[in-house]
Amino acid sequence: MDKIKIHGGIPLDGKVRISGAKNAALPLMAATLLTDETLTLKNLPSLADITTMTALLAQHGVKLTMTDEDGGALIFDSRHIFNLKAPYDIVRKMRASMLVLGPLVARYGKAKVSLPGGCAIGTRPVDMHLSALQKMGADIQIKEGYIIAYAPAGGRLRGADITFPKVTVGGTEDILMAATLADGQTILRNAACEPEVTDLVECLVKMGADISGIGSNTLVINGTERLHGAVHRVVADRIEAASYALAAAATRGRVEIVGASLNHLAAVARAMIDCGVSITETETGFIADARDAYLIGTDIMTEPYPGFPTDVQAQMTAFLATVGGASLVTESIFENRFMHVPELVRMGANITVHAPSSAIIRGVQKLSGAEVMATDLRASMGLVLAGLAAEGTTTVNRVYHLDRGYEHLEEKLTACGAQIERISEE
């Protein structure tokens, strides 16, 4: 298994070009199942999760072609779908596989998708996806670990008025896609409005879907009998952008983020500015600068967009561990998302987790390098940030987590002066 070795304590200085967002790309790829024309996606990141989604779609019968056009794109062709089953072996690797459920039932009237099971950051049930589909007339059975869903007689889901009891990104995306081909109008209330959801809405509209309320918590979808093909560019990854901005801050350096929108990161920018980091918008992104800054802690709480993203909590926690004063971090989205804390403590951080949902951080003068491992993607990135800030050498194990969400991680950090290398082991 590969490891990442970091010689820390070097302030980052340079530019990072942000890749396409993994969490936008995955639902966009699932949307190909809604049409028998081709969907061309540009700016897809090269990541393990994208490979997993490609494998899932291919086993359903989607044909994929690469083109060099506009810096590279993938063309998805769902004309000949022959298999409506998403098998356990793929779904257990990546929960976003659930996103094929809505499109398959909507277009083919049937789907069999493995239940994803729990995950390192929480139990992560899928009940809201299922109850929304039931409201749209689907018959849903759970058998031998699989969700088996049938559209009502006639093979078409029916529009419905659905209020999600809790904001769910994947649930909103899944049901939004299903609703585009349903009979009649669907209203999704308390819908997620993350930029990745909006990117999906924009692509569906290009495919001929009738959706209003874009970017808000209420989406109104008038179902149509068929969608057509489209060409779409995946939105930039705001979580990747925030991660590099926080890496600049944690190392007391300066990084120019190119290609990401500061608008998508208002809550993160606000928290960093509160701590004393300078954030300046540029024509192509923004600059995070913490050189010679007097930094002090702040309190954050993770919330659905536009609140502070849970996917940046681990990286923010690692940064806060290095600044003066105390900070309170409250995680309100997932019940078990402090798995990075014990590892940060091994690096000299002073953090106490108050179960179930908060952590008190008292900044320390310096973290020290250590051998660490994390249980999920963002926790791993938190440890990379801590390693970049720490004195000495940090080895981050289980790099496969990072490979799920950070394209060209070592190259991007090396270009900013970091001493970081991947060590491949059998």
* Interacting residue ranges for ligand EPZ, rule: CB under 6 A: 23, 26, 95-96, 122, 124-129, 166, 168-171, 310-311, 333-334, 377-378, 405
Least distance to ligand EPZ, CB of residue 162, Å = 12
Least distance to ligand EPZ, CB of residue 195, Å = 11
Least distance to ligand EPZ, CB of residue 378, Å = 5
Q: Whose Cβ is closer to ligand EPZ: residue 78's or residue 313's? A: 313
Q: Whose Cβ is closer to ligand EPZ: residue 23's or residue 394's? A: 23
CA distance 255 to 15: 6
Q: Whose Cβ is closer to ligand EPZ: residue 23's or residue 43's? A: 23
Q: Whose Cβ is closer to ligand EPZ: residue 140's or residue 293's? A: 140
> HEC profile for the chain?
CCEEEEECCCCCEEEEECCECHHHHHHHHHHHHHECCEEEEECCCCCHHHHHHHHHHHHHCCEEEEECHHHCEEEEECCCCCCCEECHHHHCCCHHHHHHHHHHHHHHCEEEEECCCCECCECCCCHHHHHHHHHCCCEEEEECCEEEEECCCCCCCECCEEECCCCCHHHHHHHHHHHHCCECEEEEECCCCCHHHHHHHHHHHHCCCEEECCCCCCEEEECCCCECCEEEECCECHHHHHHHHHHHHHCCCEEEEECCCHHHHHHHHHHHHHHCCEEEECCCEEEEECCCCCCECCCEEECCCCCECHHHHHHHHHHHCCCECEEEEECCCCCCCCCCHHHHHHCCCEEEEECCCEEEEECCCCCECCEEECCCHHHHHHHHHHHHHCECEEEEECCHHHHCCCCCHHHHHHCCCCEEEEECCC
Residue nearest to ligand EPZ (CB): 170
Least distance to ligand EPZ, CB of residue 23, Å = 3
Least distance to ligand EPZ, CB of residue 302, Å = 8
Q: Whose Cβ is closer to ligand EPZ: residue 307's or residue 392's? A: 307
Least distance to ligand EPZ, CB of residue 372, Å = 18
Question: Cis link prior to 342 (omega < 30° from 0)?
Answer: no
Least distance to ligand EPZ, CB of residue 156, Å = 23
Q: Name the active-site residue from 119, 193, 203, 416.
A: 119
Q: Whose Cβ is closer to ligand EPZ: residue 333's or residue 389's? A: 333
Cα of 306 vs its chain's centroid, Å:
15
Whether 119 sits among the annotated catalytic residues: the reply is: yes
Q: Whose Cβ is closer to ligand EPZ: residue 175's or residue 367's? A: 175
Catalytic residues: 119
